[in-house]
A and B are shown apart, each in its own frame.
Chain A
Amino acid sequence: DGGITQSPKYLFRKEGQNVTLSCEQNLNHDAMYWYRQDPGQGLRLIYYSQIVNDFQKGDIAEGYSVSREKKESFPLTVTSAQKNPTAFYLCASSAPGTNSLYGYTFGSGTRLTVV
């Protein structure tokens, strides 16, 4: 089945530690995105990538980094510079310009907690 896989489902980070969240898709989508969701809040865009080896900052990129070495993969690193990383992280992908109504496909999320 085609879809997006995020791992791990739960992640615990110690103060000062970098952690990496995995996102893999087999939908052959060109674009991938990372969103952060805080309790009772909307979705805030962290980074997005339109094509392999290229990515752009979203609205809240500080303290995060990404890479896009393969079309299928878009990992997110939460660095020690991110002072309040506890949140639910969502990865998504899309096939822009296809004139479809399908929009984004989201993964099931990773819940990151600072301990």
Chain B
Amino acid sequence: QQQVKQSPQSLIVQKGGISIINCAYENTAFDYFPWYQQFPGKGPALLIAIRPDVSEKKEGRFTISFNKSAKQFSLHIMDSQPGDSATYFCAASMDSSYKLIFGSGTRLLVRP
């Protein structure tokens, strides 16, 4: 019940296309859902995050869509660029637990 399942494992998108990464969770007590971006040899950096009281959050080309009833959330990268090529992790937590549960990651490659 503590798992966060992420798919796909890898994704190849042409420049200008839309990248979509999906995550699903079981624990309905989760109330914080961030996405992290990691470049090779670097630590992950927070990209965008959402709480379950909203169904969508947009920051520039990055959008989180959240479906509370289905217990799923997804990251959409519009107009994908080669510089977006990185590994993306979804995560979930209950604030009081102090612990983020991470998905297994998606390696995104955006072709020029």
A contacts, CB < 8 Å to B: 4, 6, 31, 33, 40-43, 45, 48, 50, 90, 92, 94, 96-97, 99, 101-109, 111
- CB < 8 Å neighbour of A42 from B32, B50, B51, B104: B104
Across the interface, do A101 and B51 meet the contact criterion of CB distance under 8 Å? yes
Across the interface, do A48 and B95 meet the contact criterion of CB distance under 8 Å? no
- CB < 8 Å neighbour of A103 from B43, B49, B97, B105: B49
If A102-B46, A106-B44 touch, whether A42 touches B102 (CB-CB below 8 Å) is yes
Looking at the assembled complex, report how far the CB atom of A81 sits from the nearest CB atom of chain B, in whole angstroms. 24
| Residue B61, interface by CB 8 Å | no
- CB < 8 Å neighbour of B34 from A6, A33, A48, A103: A103
User: B42: which A residues are within 8 A, CB to CB?
Assistant: 108-109
Q: How far is the CA of A92 from the CA of B91 in the complex (A)?
A: 14
| Residue B45, interface by CB 8 Å | yes
Looking at the assembled complex, report how far the CB atom of B64 sits from the nearest CB atom of chain A, in whole angstroms. 11
